[in-house]
Amino acid sequence: MRISKIFPFISILTSVFFTTIACLAYPLWSSIRQFLGTNLPVMPILALVGILFAGYSFCLFSASNRKVKVHPVHLIILLVVDIVMSVLLYVLFDELGYERAILARNAAETSPVAAWFLAAFLFVWFAPRWKPLSNKGVRFGLIALLAIAAVIWTTYPWRIKMTTQPAVYRQQDGLVFVWGTNMVSTSWLNYGSTQEMDQTASNQVGGLLSLGDRLQWVFLPYSQITSDLYFQALSEGIHSFNLTNVVKVGKAASDLVHVQLPAQDDEIFMAAFSDLHEHPDRYQQLAGHIPWEDVDEAVFLGDLVNYVTSPEQVAQQMVSLPTGGKTIPRVFVRGNHETRGEDAAQFGNWLKPHEAQWYYSFSAGNVFFVVLDSGEDKIDSHPEYSGMNDFASYHQEQAEWLSRVFDSQDYQDAVYRVILVHIPPFVHPVRGGGFTPPEFGPVLSRVNNQEDIDLIMSGHIHEGGIWMPDETGFPHPVVTAGGQEEYDMAAIIVYFGVDGIEIEVLDINGNLIEQALISKK
């Protein structure tokens, strides 16, 4: 094949792929524009350029087929534009995290339509020249195959399977067991203090079993849980509803899981992470330096995703995070990035009981934990939120709840009292500026005035460190986990012992960044 045909053919493929990716990324157009810092409709312009370049390349390819001489200038233009498009595609995919799943989902949903358009184009343009397609019977047969393929696609998946093993999350009055599936399903939990697991719990509302959309959860109150717990998660796939029956597609079961909860007044050893921003690979490198065999609680201090897009994203970026091959209770603290995205309002339905809040408290061993939700990091009226936020009202409710927590007997009787919150409640001693918006003020003022808080654990600033009151001017010591980059990723290890709180901050290679001992009050 001559170079005058090769270049246009490659350019057609490149421009079609470029235009397709630009169109499939439609939900990300606004974010990409903000990332580039421009108000121009960048992605629609690029999609239009891709379409025009595809037409230009096709004209040159057709001319070459007709033995028309293609001027070298056209070939140089094709080469330059191909390189530019390839670079743009590389930059796009390098910057994307789980957002790639959005492209895959959109591609899956539009593939039958794309197949039909491609078939129509081939029939109209090439059929007179292709002998196999000149036969009507062959054409009808191909159309039938495409129709069957579309039907098969719309009926997929054909059988349920679990996409993650169950994880155990702390909540206000019990534990939430969460796992991923490949389809909508009903789910339940077999559990007990022995491997016989003689009890069953399900997620129901008004007597109707709840349908989980690729993320399933079951809540167990602490009154039904012993310190030694065995459980197995089960799901039954629901493909579709008819008027008189439901089409089910099998059952799936998790492994038998054993989890031990700290007894009252036990000394607690915990590990904490924050701001992974959809980099589970780097998390695994960092987590490889954690002595998981000693860990009683795993804490995730928010911003595990860039913004909430789907239950599959939450399953892969949160639920599936490994904890050293050991099932231990997890504590999730909502970050400002978990308040963003098309499905941010649905996020709570996937990870916690419907009536529960993102702020809650619980006791584990000798520690009373108060989990606060700092919400967004900008004021409600910020243009980025398009008038969709009302954290002022939310934080007022949270502040009133926090006052009741501080007055509770469980809080008063605790050996240690720890606050978990994504945004650290102090002014950074180097960079300056506050990190908490004024809407969070009612909550923050109560924290400031509560003298018996032993430690606050946070993330958000992408800097692992221990911040004492004489350094920040804030009345309580604060420890922060790091960010998602190799140079700033850091984990927190905390031991609540008899004599005080031992804290270590480790970098991604397991090196000690900082350590401290906070004597018991």
Q: Give me the pLDDT at residue 98, please.
A: 64
Quote the Cα angle for 175-319-256, to 5°: 65
Query: Which pLDDT value is given to residue 70?
Result: 73
Write the pLDDT tens digit of every residue in 276-334.
Answer: 999 999 999 999 999 999 999 999 999 999 989 889 999 999 999 999 999 999 999 99
How many CB atoms are closer than 10 A to CB 62?
12
Q: How far apart are CA 21 and CA 40, in angstroms?
A: 19
Taking 80 as the threshold, does the pLDDT of residue 465 lie above it?
Answer: yes
Q: What band does 90 get if pLDDT is binned at 50, 70 and 90?
A: confident
pLDDT tier at 124 (50, 70, 90 boundaries)?
low
Would you place residue 342 in the very low, low, confident or very high pLDDT band (cuts 50, 70, 90)? confident
Reported confidence tier of residue 370, pLDDT bands at 50, 70, 90: very high
CA distance 290 to 295: 8
pLDDT at residue 389 is higher than 80: yes
Encoded amino acid at 114, one letter: A
- Report how far residue 440's alpha carbon sits from residue 450's, in angstroms, rounded to the nearest whole number: 16
Cβ proximity of 178 and 214 under 8 Å: no
Q: How far apart are CA 359 and CA 406, in angstroms?
A: 14
Average pLDDT over residues 10-29: 84
404-447 tens-digit pLDDT: 999 999 999 999 999 999 999 887 766 655 567 889 999 999 99
Yes or no: say if 236 and 247 are a contact pair by the CB < 8 Å rule. Answer: no
Q: What structural domains does the chain harbor?
A: 3-155 (no CATH), 167-259 (2.60.40), 262-316+354-519 (3.60.21.10)
Q: Could you tell me whether strands 416-420 and 455-458 are parallel, antiparallel, or unpaired per DSSP bridges?
A: parallel
CA 434 to the chain's CA centroid: 26
**pTM of full prediction above 0.75:** yes
Query: Is the model's pLDDT at 244 over the cut of 70?
Result: no
For residues 336-358, average pLDDT: 90
Tell the burial category of 412 from Cβ atoms under 10 Å away from its Cβ (0-12, 13-18, 19+). Answer: exposed
54 pLDDT band, cuts 50/70/90, is confident
Model pLDDT, residue 459:
95
Sort 339 into a burial class: Cβ within 10 Å, 0-12 / 13-18 / 19+: buried
- Reply yes or no on whether the pLDDT at 180 is more than 90: yes
